[in-house]
Amino acid sequence: MTDDHLIFGRHEPGETGDVDVDELRAALASTPDTPDAATVPAPPPPRRDPEIDRSASRRRHRVWLIIAVLVLVVIIAGLAAGFVIWRSTAGQVADYQGTGDTEVVVRVQGGDGPADIASTLADAGVVASAEAFEAQAVKDADVQALRPGYYRVRQNASAQAAADALVAAENHVGHVRLIPGRQLADVTATSTDPNQPPTVVPGYISEITAAACVPLNGQSNCFTTDDLWEVAETADPAKLGVVEWAADSVRLAPDPRKRLEGMMLPGDFDIPPGATPEQALQAAVSASAALWNGTEIVRDAAANGVTPYQAAIIASLVEREAITADMPKVSRVTFNRLAKPMNLEFDSTVNYALDRASIATTAVDRANPSPYNTYVNPGLPPTPISSPGPDAVAAALNPVPGSWLYFVKVDQSGQSCFSDTVEQHNVCVDRARANGVFG
């Protein structure tokens, strides 16, 4: 029987349409089983369009190029900004603004130049940099002429303000100028004019005490003249720096208050601000010892038959008795009287015993039993009676030749009249009275 609805569908025309069942079974038996999914190879990836790949690559290249350009721009901008900052600060150094705050004291040493002073100020925190101050100092003649010593300045100050402070007179602290002819103690100076009241002349002890007192930031820690007198009267002369050839004579002085007389020479001295009494006195005494040692006093004293200490005493007498022009003659009178021997009878020694300065003395004054009164005591006084200046020291060591035994001031300028005899001397005295030197 014929059936058009078979498994394989329709048949081609001309075919019978009969199916051999045995063949079909054989064909089905020979067909392999369905393979395992795991063993089935993956399908090949779809093929990409080459044009699309080239387009993506170009996009990525442009992105990286933009990033690189931006980074380069940032680097260049940074370098440019740094160069601008460098150019704006090139040649400039650190410097504070204003006049500063905390007061301090700095020291300028002998021989210090602008660079040394600048380093000192920078180390003390006064200026921001040594370079800033040195640049200011090289165009400031006053700073370049600065004397050695101690100066009060303010920390955190501009270079200009620091320079101005250094050259201000009131800021040169610890400085004392000891005047020739002065003595350790204050003295009362009287005039022959009765209308002129007595005046007090400060002595070296008072002047050193004042120099050592340097208030800082509104506070002061100062010692008194009594404190300094105690040191002058009791301290070991060697520890104070007394010149070696005078130390034993200082120890033997009959009056402790006068034992250091003449050991401090006139001149400019720097007393450390805030120093103790011992340190302050040592500063002046030891510096004076250096001045004494700078003379030929040991050699020249021996040539004149006296010790160096005796030569210092003679120099102190000459300082108080004569003007500079007459000093070599007064020195000769002193040596001539000592050689006689004659009492010196110097009014300056009478006044010294009384802590007084006066041209004329009275009979009562001249009768004072003080060992310093050369009217009643032969020879030299036990210590110098003043601080002799270099002219007086030179005159004491080099008296001019002469036979004079007397002298007296004959005019208000202090010029003296010299004579060999009492009669000649009396004429000079009359001349002095006529000129109103004394009554």
The model's pLDDT over 372-387, given as tens digits with 9 standing for 90+, comes to 999 999 999 999 999 9
In a domain, 31, yes or no: no
Q: Are residues 125 and 258 in the same domain?
A: no
Q: Are residues 111 and 248 in the same domain?
A: no
Residues forming a β-bridge with 107:
150
Q: Are residues 123 and 271 in the same domain?
A: no
Copy the structure tokens of residue 68: 């690189």
Q: What DSSP state is assigned to residue 304?
A: T
In a domain, 393, yes or no: yes
Structural domain count, the chain:
2
For residue 198, pLDDT over 90 is answered with no
| pLDDT band at residue 13 using 50, 70 and 90 as cut-offs | very low
pLDDT of the residue at 280: 97
Q: Are residues 284 and 363 in the same domain?
A: yes
Q: Are residues 360 and 255 in the same domain?
A: yes
In a domain, 345, yes or no: yes
- Compute the distance between CA of residue 271 and CA of residue 203 in angstroms, rounded to an integer: 16
**CATH number of the domain bearing residue 167:** 3.30.1490.480
| pLDDT band at residue 369 using 50, 70 and 90 as cut-offs | very high
Of 320, 223, 220, nearest to 281 by C-alpha is 223
Q: Are residues 130 and 237 in the same domain?
A: no
The model's pLDDT over 226-271, given as tens digits with 9 standing for 90+, comes to 999 999 999 999 999 999 999 999 999 999 999 999 999 999 999 9
Chain length of the chain? 439
- Compute the distance between CA of residue 424 and CA of residue 439 in angstroms, rounded to an integer: 19
Q: Are residues 208 and 166 in the same domain?
A: no
The model's pLDDT over 277-320, given as tens digits with 9 standing for 90+, comes to 999 999 999 999 999 999 999 999 999 999 999 999 999 999 99
Q: Are residues 276 and 372 in the same domain?
A: yes
| pLDDT band at residue 71 using 50, 70 and 90 as cut-offs | confident
pLDDT of the residue at 20: 54
For residue 18, pLDDT over 60 is answered with no
The model's pLDDT over 398-434, given as tens digits with 9 standing for 90+, comes to 999 999 999 999 998 889 999 999 999 999 999 999 9
List the domain range (segments joined by +) for residue 267: 204-402
- Share the mean pLDDT of the chain: 87
Q: Using an 8 Å Cβ cutoff, are 416 and 422 in contact?
A: no
Q: Using an 8 Å Cβ cutoff, are 415 and 325 in contact?
A: yes
For residue 203, pLDDT over 50 is answered with yes
- Compute the distance between CA of residue 65 and CA of residue 177 in angstroms, rounded to an integer: 82
Q: Are residues 122 and 210 in the same domain?
A: no
Q: Using an 8 Å Cβ cutoff, are 404 and 334 in contact?
A: no
For residue 218, pLDDT over 70 is answered with yes
In a domain, 49, yes or no: no
Q: Are residues 249 and 367 in the same domain?
A: yes
Q: Using an 8 Å Cβ cutoff, are 116 and 143 in contact?
A: no
Radius of gyration over every alpha carbon of the chain, rounded to an integer in angstroms: 53
How far out from the chain centre does Cα 31 lie? 118
pTM of the model as a whole: 0.76
**Alpha helical stretches, state H, 16-129:** 21-30, 50-89, 114-123
In a domain, 88, yes or no: no
Of 327, 323, 339, nearest to 397 by C-alpha is 327
Q: Are residues 294 and 165 in the same domain?
A: no
Torsions phi, psi of 268, nearest 5?
-95, 130
